[in-house]
Amino acid sequence: MTTMTAYQDLMAFQRETEALAEIAGRLGWDQETMMPRCSADQRAEETAAISHVLHQRRIDPRVEDWLGQIEDDALEPEAQAQMRLIRRDFNRTRKIPPKLATEIARVTSRAQGQWAEARANEDVAAFLPVLEQVVQLRQEEGHALAEGGDAYDALLNDYEPEAKAAEIDAMFAAMRPRLVALRTAALDRPAPAPVKGDFPADVQLALARDVAVAFGYDLDCGRIDLAVHPFSSGSGRDVRITTRTNADDPFNCIYSTIHEVGHASYEQGIDPAYLLTPLGEGVSIGVHESQSRIYENQLGRSRAFTGWLFERMTERFGDLGLDGPDAFYAAANRLHNGYIRTEADEVQYNLHVMLRFDLERALISGDLKVTDLEAAWNDRFAADFGFAVDKPSNGCLQDVHWSVGLFGYFPTYSLGNVYAGCLYEALRKAVPDLDDHLARGHLTPATAWLREHVQRHGGRYTPRDLIAQASGAQPGPEPLLSYLEEKFGALYGF
């Protein structure tokens, strides 16, 4: 069999695997949005079954035969990139026993529902037994993948290939003092007034839909639904997002929507030729987060765009209790003490991530027991933020990630912020009249640049190479920190 024949057979097989993975993703979307409450146990079995099928396909002996017959150097660059990802996935998957993969899918599906119920009831004790199962399973998986190396690094690489926890830890250590100093300086100044008014949920959702379209989200290939924890799901021609509403805070809905639109636009912007192939999805969670965060913050919370949004919100909600667009801009960027990561301001957001990063590393290493998690969270939160957690839903029960086994995921949020800082610096140079466009609610120059330099490539390049190509320099935290210091220094007058 020639290299090209083996490659074509492998890609045909891979296309079916990718399609099944999309079906598995749709099961997860349904569970978060529309599934009847009593269906949780049945859904756990369904999820476990399709996970087993996917695991078996990814280690199918035919895949190993095809890989052995293909000479990567004889392929075109895009095909070589496909092979890089297929080989990586094959080598990773065959290290995990099929029984373990199936059990992880079953337990995390069940744990997700138990987390939601425990969160609603403020009952940490009800969640800890299943969380302990999830942690034990992920520990076992991490050790299987690491083969004697660091188990947490092995899990981290599922979300950010080639990343190392020690490098991230060093980066966070460098970022923390400047973030804390900026937070302290801002919180010592009078806080901007928040928006006030009557914000009906249906009006929030209608506005969120309009904003999503303004940012380029193609609703013919997607939809917007409600969920406890907003997320994006799918790829190619079926990319769905969720958001949530808060009667007292319309920004929660608007900026959650913009954030998820950033994720969805990445998936919708990938070259259609990559559909249902390994290149047909975002290259890493960190790069994915770079798109959601630059949409939400550098673009969505800019002075120029908030001027446009102020007019739209005034039309929909009436008086917002603010004296014009400058006060609205300040309200949209208001630094404030709070418990919730997803509602945190730009300056403090990364401090929330750093807390989770340290705790989950300790859980996977075994240095922190699940039974001690709530106390460890509360102690660390008080030390980092200066006030006490008031209830579990504002503490260790606020995020869905650990219930579904996403250990190694949290640091990618801050990597996304770092990547976004690099991309925004390059974007402003490439589009010098960017603010004029944003002031008219015209996002296309910005989103088109991101589509061309990041999104269309899908998984073709490694994360760091992709950001370096797009921004013109190796990624690092300096552009992000400089952007934050300049923005909030001007906003708070120091």
Q: Domain locations in the chain?
A: 3-149, 165-492
| Residue-level pLDDT at 241 | 97
> Sign (positive/negative) of CA torsion 16, 19, 21, 24?
negative
| Residue-level pLDDT at 1 | 73
Q: Give per-residue burial for 148-170: e unless 16+ CB within 10 Å, then b.
A: eebbbbbbbbbbbbebebeebee
Q: What is the DSSP code (8-state) at residue 219? A: G
Kindly report, residue by residue over 79-106, the tens digit of the pLDDT.
Answer: 999 999 999 999 999 999 999 999 999 9
| Residue-level pLDDT at 461 | 97
Secondary structure (3-state) at 46: helix
Report the predicted TM-score, pTM, of the whole model to 2 decimal places. Answer: 0.94
Active site residue 122: no
Q: Active site residue: 141, 260, 374, 425, which one? A: 260
| Strand ranges across the sheet with 238-243 | 224-226, 238-243, 232-235
CB neighbour class for 215 (10 Å; exposed up to 12, middle 13-18, buried from 19): buried
Q: What is the mean pLDDT of the chain?
A: 96
Q: How far apart are CA 53 and CA 491, in angstroms?
A: 54
> Sign (positive/negative) of CA torsion 218, 222, 225, 231?
negative
Q: How far apart are CA 334 and CA 191, in angstroms?
A: 7
Kindly report, residue by residue over 263-286, the tens digit of the pLDDT.
Answer: 999 999 999 999 999 999 999 999
Which tokens sit at 198?
């009557």
| Residue-level pLDDT at 37 | 86
| Residue-level pLDDT at 342 | 87
| Residue-level pLDDT at 343 | 87
- Alpha carbon separation from 396 to 1, 289, 338 (Å, rounded): 55, 22, 14
User: For the chain, how far is it from start to end, CA to CA, in angstroms?
Assistant: 69
Q: How far apart are CA 196 and CA 134, in angstroms?
A: 42
| Residue-level pLDDT at 66 | 96
Q: Report the Cα 354 to chain-centroid distance in Å.
A: 15
Contact 194, 251 (CB under 8 A): no
Which tokens sit at 17?
């695997």
In tens digits, the chain (494 residues) has pLDDT values of: 799 999 999 999 999 999 999 999 999 999 989 999 899 899 989 999 999 999 999 999 999 999 999 999 999 999 999 999 999 999 999 999 999 999 999 999 999 999 999 999 999 999 999 999 999 999 999 999 999 999 999 999 999 999 999 999 999 999 999 999 999 999 999 999 999 999 999 999 999 999 999 999 999 999 999 988 899 999 999 999 999 999 999 999 999 999 999 999 999 999 999 999 999 999 999 999 999 999 999 999 999 999 999 999 999 999 999 999 999 999 999 999 999 998 899 999 999 999 999 999 999 999 999 999 999 999 999 999 999 999 999 999 999 999 999 999 999 999 999 999 999 999 999 999 999 999 999 999 999 999 999 999 999 999 999 999 999 999 999 999 999 999 999 999 98
What dotted CATH number matches 165-492? 1.10.1370.30
